[in-house]
Structure 1
Amino acid sequence: MDKPLLTVSGLTRHFPRGATRVAAVDGVSFHIEPGETLALAGPSGSGKSTVARLLLRLIDAEAGSITFKGEDWLALRGAALRARRRDLQLVFQDSLAAFNPRTTVAQALDMPLRIHGLAPRSERPSRIAALLERVGLSLTLRHRAIHEISGGQRQRVAIARAIATTPSLVVLDEAVSALDVSVRGKILDLLLDLQQQEKIAYLFISHDLAVVRAFAHRVAILDKGRIVEQGEARKIIDAPQSDIGKALVAAIPALPAKM
C-alpha cells in the first residue's frame, strides 16, 4: 500500500487570549492520500484556517509533525522550503484580497512560473494561455486588472495560479463560500475535473456540510481545535456522532443527494 501524500500528527498551536493561552489547534491528526479530497469542517473559530496556516508554514507549530511526500515538512528551511512550496498551494476565500487588485490576470499567472523557474520568459505567455484555457477563461482576460473581473472569474484565476506549479496538494480555505450558488457549482465542477485529470489532492476547508458531502471523499470535523470525528464524508454527515457534527447538519435545511 502506498504511503499517504500528507500525514499530520499531534499538530498543536496556542494563541494568547488576555492573560492566558488558548489552543487554536490541539493535537490534530489526519492524513490525505494522493488524489483524495479531505474536508476539514467546523464552525467559525474551530481551528480550520489555523490548520491551513500551519500546513503552509505561514505560522509555526508548537508540537506535532507533518510529513509531506515522505519528507519532514516542518524541518525544511530556506531554499529547500521555497523549492518544495510549489508542491503545496493555497486558494483563499477572498479572491480579491488574494491578489494585488491592480495586477493583471497575466501578471498574476506569470508570477509562480517566474518565481519557481518553471518556464523561460519566451514560453510564459503560452503557459499562461494554457492555464486560462484549463480553468475555462477567455484569453482576452489576460490584460484585464484583477479588480475588473467578476468574483467567479477571480476565483478561476486563483485556481489557475495554484495549479501553475503542478502541485500535489491544494488547500482550499473556504474557497467557494463567498460565491453565489450557480458560480459555486461551476467552480466545484472545475476542481473535480482538475483532480481527475491531474490527480491533485485537496484539503477542503468549509463550514458547509452540504458542499462537503457532495465534494469530499472524507471529512474531519473540528471543534475547539480538536478533531471530534472523521471518516467517509457521506457516512459522517448522514449520521454524525459528535455534538458539533449534529449541530452543523441541523443548521442545513436539507442536504441534497447531489449537487
Structure 2
Amino acid sequence: MSEPLLAVSGLTKRFHRSGTIVTAAEDISLSISPAETLALAGPSGSGKSTIARLILRLIEPDAGRVDFGGENFLALRGSALRARRARLQMVFQDPLAALNPRATVARVLDDPLRIHALVSRSERPSRIAALLQRVGLSSDLADRYLHEISGGQRQRVAIARAIATKPSLIVLDEAVSALDVSVRSQILELLLDLQRTERIAYLFVSHDLGVVRAFAHRVVLLEGGRITEQGDARAVIDNPQSAIGKALVAAVPRLTTTIQERS
C-alpha cells in the first residue's frame, strides 16, 4: 500500500471556557490517500471543523501528530511552513466571510499567485483567466467585486483560489451546504472533475449524509470530539453500527444521490 498523503494520529484539543474544559478533539487518528475523499460527519458540535482547523494548523493541537506528504507538518516553521501550506488549501462555507467581500475577483485570485511567487506579475492576468475558465467562469468576472456575484459563482472563485497553488489536499468545510440543490450538484461535479484530472485529495466536512454518501470514498463519524465509526462511506451510511450513526441516518428522511455516484 502506498504511503498516505495525510496521516493524523492522536490529535487532541481542549478549550477552557468559563472555568470548564471542553474536549473538541480526543485522540483523533485518520489518513487520506492521494486523490481520495474522506468525509468528517457528525452533529453540530461534534468537532468536525475543529479537527479540520487543527490539521491545517489554523489552531494548534494539545497533542498528536500530523504528517503531510511524509513530513511532520506540526514541526514546520517559517519559510518551510509557508512552502508546505501551498499544497494544503481550504474552501469555507461562506466565501464572503472567509475572503474580502470588497475585493475584486482578480485580487482574490492574484493573492496566492503573488504570495507564493508562482508566476511573474506580467503572467498573473492570464493565469487568473485560466483559473476562472477551469472552474467554469468567464474571465469577464475578473473585475467584478466578490459581493456583486452570486453565491455559486463566489464558491467557484473560492475553489479557483484554492487550486491556484496546485495543492495536493483541499479541506472543504461545509463548502456546499449553503448552496441550493442545483448549484450544489454543479459544484460537486466540478470538484470531482478536479480530483480526476489533478489527483487532488479532499477532507470533506459535512453534516449532509446524502452528499457524503454520493461524494466521499470513506467517512469518519464523530460525536463529542471522538471518532465513533469509520469506513467505506456507502457501507457506513447504509448500515451504521454506532448509536450516533444510526441517529444521523434516522434524522434524514430519504438519502438521495445529488451527483453521479462513483463507480
- Coordinate RMSD, CA, aligned: 0.8
For each residue in 1:191-249, what CA deviation from the matched residue of structure 2 results, as whole angstroms up to 9, or x when unmatched?
A: 00000000000000000000000000000001000010000000000000111111111
Give the SS at the match of 2:204. Answer: strand
* Counterpart for residue 5 of structure 2: 5
* Counterpart for residue 63 of structure 1: 63
Instruction: Write out aligned runs for 1:144-163 (5 A).
Output: 144-163=144-163
> Separation in 1 of the partners of 2:96 and 2:258?
29
Query: How much has 1:18 moved relative to structure 2?
Result: 2.2
CA contact (8 A) 2:210 2:258 kept: no
Instruction: Write out aligned runs for 1:196-235 (5 A).
Output: 196-235=196-235
Query: How much has 1:17 moved relative to structure 2?
Result: 2.6
Query: Residue type of the partner of 2:162?
Result: A
Aligned length in residues? 259
* Counterpart for residue 28 of structure 2: 28
Query: How much has 1:88 moved relative to structure 2?
Result: 0.3
Query: Residue type of the partner of 2:156?
Result: R
CA contact (8 A) 2:6 2:31 kept: yes
* Counterpart for residue 191 of structure 2: 191
For each residue in 1:62-105, what CA deviation from the matched residue of structure 2 results, as whole angstroms up to 9, or x when unmatched?
A: 10100000000100011110111000000000121121111000
For each residue in 1:24-53, what CA deviation from the matched residue of structure 2 results, as whole angstroms up to 9, or x when unmatched?
A: 001110000000000000011000110111
* Counterpart for residue 180 of structure 1: 180
1:109 maps onto 2:109 in alignment: yes
> Separation in 2 of the partners of 1:194 and 1:258?
18
> Separation in 2 of the partners of 1:123 and 1:19?
53
Give the SS at the match of 1:35. Answer: coil
> Separation in 1 of the partners of 2:46 and 2:163?
28
Query: Residue type of the partner of 1:241?
Result: Q
CA contact (8 A) 2:211 2:258 kept: no
> Separation in 1 of the partners of 2:48 and 2:39?
10
TM-score for the superposition, normalised by structure 1: 0.99
Give structure 2 stretches of 5+ with no counterpart: none
The 4+ residue runs of structure 1 with deviation greater than 3 A are none
Query: Residue type of the partner of 1:28?
Result: I
Query: Residue type of the partner of 1:189?
Result: E
Query: Residue type of the partner of 1:125?
Result: P
Give the SS at the match of 1:187. Answer: helix
Query: Residue type of the partner of 1:234?
Result: R
Query: How much has 1:258 moved relative to structure 2?
Result: 5.7
* Counterpart for residue 47 of structure 2: 47
Query: How much has 1:16 moved relative to structure 2?
Result: 1.1
TM-score for the superposition, normalised by structure 2: 0.97
Give the SS at the match of 1:188. Answer: helix
> Separation in 2 of the partners of 1:2 and 1:126?
36
CA contact (8 A) 2:185 2:258 kept: no
Query: How much has 1:130 moved relative to structure 2?
Result: 0.5
* Counterpart for residue 239 of structure 1: 239
Question: Which deviates the most, 200-209 or 54-63?
Answer: 54-63
Query: Residue type of the partner of 1:154?
Result: R
CA contact (8 A) 2:40 2:219 kept: yes
Give the SS at the match of 1:97. Answer: helix
> Separation in 1 of the partners of 2:38 and 2:173?
12
Give the SS at the match of 1:96. Answer: helix
* Counterpart for residue 142 of structure 2: 142
Give the SS at the match of 1:172. Answer: strand
Query: Residue type of the partner of 1:119?
Result: V
Query: Residue type of the partner of 2:189?
Result: D
Give the SS at the match of 2:95. Answer: coil
